Structure 1
Amino acid sequence: MQNQVRQLLVSLQKQLSVTLQSNRETLCHPVAKGDATEDEWLCLLKNHLPNRYQADRAFVIDSEGKLSEQIDIVIYDRQYTPLLYNQNNQIFVPAESVYAILEVKQELDLDKIQYAGKKISSVRNLKRTSAKIVDVGKSVAPRPVTAILGGILTSDSLWNPPFGESFQKAINSLTLSQRVDLGIALLKGSFDVSYTEKNEVQTKIEVGETALLYFFFNLLWRLQRLGTVPAIDYAEYLKVIDELS
């Protein structure tokens, strides 16, 4: 009997591929096409991520009032941290709540990877606070902030081969704060990027009908390794209110 997990996700990949391809062929306006593609990826993540994670198109803001660029998909905590603003589909989330930043594009190429890196960097460079908490009646010191994952989601790749030398050069061109950790070109394959202590880049590629399967479980595995985001220091946000009073 076939592995049911594999069968279900391969079926999901085929369904998503058909929808994204239909959007590319039917929608002529680039903004409409981009919005439709983002909506499909958002729907996938909203329907399949564990409930502890929220996924939305959003801005990220820190306690000093600095703001990221608008992010296609932010995966963030809603269990312990609040939304700072949510009106008319304009969502602002605190920097402390962010687990991952995902940029959505039609195709994978050098410009798209570097653009994704800049968007990821605009969040990673924000200030994130960490507060002490009380656990079983005891005060626990503030934890270090967790790393923020960065990724790119596309339907296809403009490179041939899709993950060859040109892809490797694009990944290597990114700065520390721009690093892309994982991604997918749905019709070609998915990838995972890791960095050694000597800053050497190591990539793992999964092609074929298991590309989405690999990407999704790799994302879950990476989120699991991050644990829970540290407690937000609300006192830092109160300072902003005091300054405005």
Structure 2
Amino acid sequence: MSEWSLSQLLSSLHEDIQSRLAVARKSFQHPGVKGDASESVWISLLDKYLPARYSVAKAHVVDSLGNFSDQIDVVVFDRQYSPFIFTYENQTIIPAESVYAVFEAKQTADAQLVRYAQDKVASVRRLHRTSLPIPHAGGTYPAKPAIPIFGGILTFESEWSPPMGKALESILLEGSGDRQLDIGCVASHGHFARNATGEYDFVFENKPATAFLFKLISRLQFSGTVPMIDIDAYGEWLAK
């Protein structure tokens, strides 16, 4: 008889995630340092547990027209097909075509954070993304449309009571178009995701961060693969 337990394995995964988030919250008193620690924990966790095709970093996003996004706390981007990632003076710059998801990460969710995250997400979605036809042995696949970029928030706590509900949803619903948030986690309580009707499903559970991780992976699976980037469009900047 097998001595393995899937329930125990998932509990261990959750304990790892939850304990690291709790340590970041309790170990630092300065708000700025605490915020940086929170970002680092989420980046580390996602980088560790997301499939290897994805990378995670704090970064700016740039397009081939020379436009830059705001600085984003957590960017999930393609590493398998991304031809270049810039690092300059400890700042990471990622081409817009490579981005799958962007998150604002803080210790506590409140109305200011949600609206701030909506603006940050919009600054990425408004960037221009190129797409080229993909050659293969039998010919060429047509250029694929840009995939949707998921946007969301990642926090440990919430200022609302209940921590996720009508108050949070009313702020989330303010964000439409490029400012729409799709998914998020309040690690002490649960996660939320926008459904097909445009409303938000709030899920309270015993293992919130782990449940969020699974939900994010599921969303990424169905989002497809990033388009083939037009390198020449970026290369034109070499002559300017």
| Residue equivalent to 1:175 | 176
| Residue equivalent to 1:234 | 231
| Residue equivalent to 1:204 | 201
Asked if 1:24 is matched to 2:36, the reply is: no
- In terms of mean alpha carbon deviation, does 63-72 or 11-20 score higher? 11-20
TM-score (norm 1): 0.91
Once the two structures are superposed, residues 150-199 of structure 1 have per-residue CA deviations (whole angstroms, 9 ceiling, x without a partner) of: 11110011111122210110111112101111111111111111243xxx
* Distance across 2 between alignment mates of 1:63 and 1:2: 54
* Distance across 2 between alignment mates of 1:106 and 1:131: 40
- Residues 142/168 of structure 1: CA separation in 2 closer, same or farther (3 Å cut): same
In structure 2, runs of 5+ residues without a counterpart are: none
* Distance across 1 between alignment mates of 2:91 and 2:52: 21
* Distance across 1 between alignment mates of 2:5 and 2:174: 39
**Structure 2 counterpart of 1:69, one-letter code:** D
* Distance across 1 between alignment mates of 2:124 and 2:8: 36
In structure 1, runs of 5+ residues without a counterpart are: none
- In terms of mean alpha carbon deviation, does 148-157 or 20-29 score higher? 20-29
| Residue equivalent to 1:221 | 218
* Matched residue SS, 2:103: strand
* Distance across 1 between alignment mates of 2:187 and 2:85: 33
- Residues 172/15 of structure 1: CA separation in 2 closer, same or farther (3 Å cut): same
Once the two structures are superposed, residues 52-77 of structure 1 have per-residue CA deviations (whole angstroms, 9 ceiling, x without a partner) of: 00111111000011001111111111
* Matched residue SS, 1:209: coil
TM-score (norm 2): 0.92
Identity over aligned pairs, percent: 38
Deviation, structure 1 residue 205 = 2.1
| Residue equivalent to 2:145 | 144
* Matched residue SS, 1:74: strand
**Structure 1 counterpart of 2:231, one-letter code:** Y
- In terms of mean alpha carbon deviation, does 205-214 or 50-59 score higher? 205-214
- Residues 45/5 of structure 1: CA separation in 2 closer, same or farther (3 Å cut): farther
- Residues 84/16 of structure 1: CA separation in 2 closer, same or farther (3 Å cut): closer
| Residue equivalent to 1:38 | 39
Deviation, structure 1 residue 139 = 1.8
* Distance across 2 between alignment mates of 1:96 and 1:164: 34
Once the two structures are superposed, residues 80-116 of structure 1 have per-residue CA deviations (whole angstroms, 9 ceiling, x without a partner) of: 1123412443111100000000110111111111111
Asked if 1:72 is matched to 2:79, the reply is: no
* Distance across 1 between alignment mates of 2:74 and 2:80: 18
Whether the aligned pair in 2 keeps the contact of 1:10 and 1:209 (CA below 8 Å) is no
Whether the aligned pair in 2 keeps the contact of 1:95 and 1:126 (CA below 8 Å) is yes
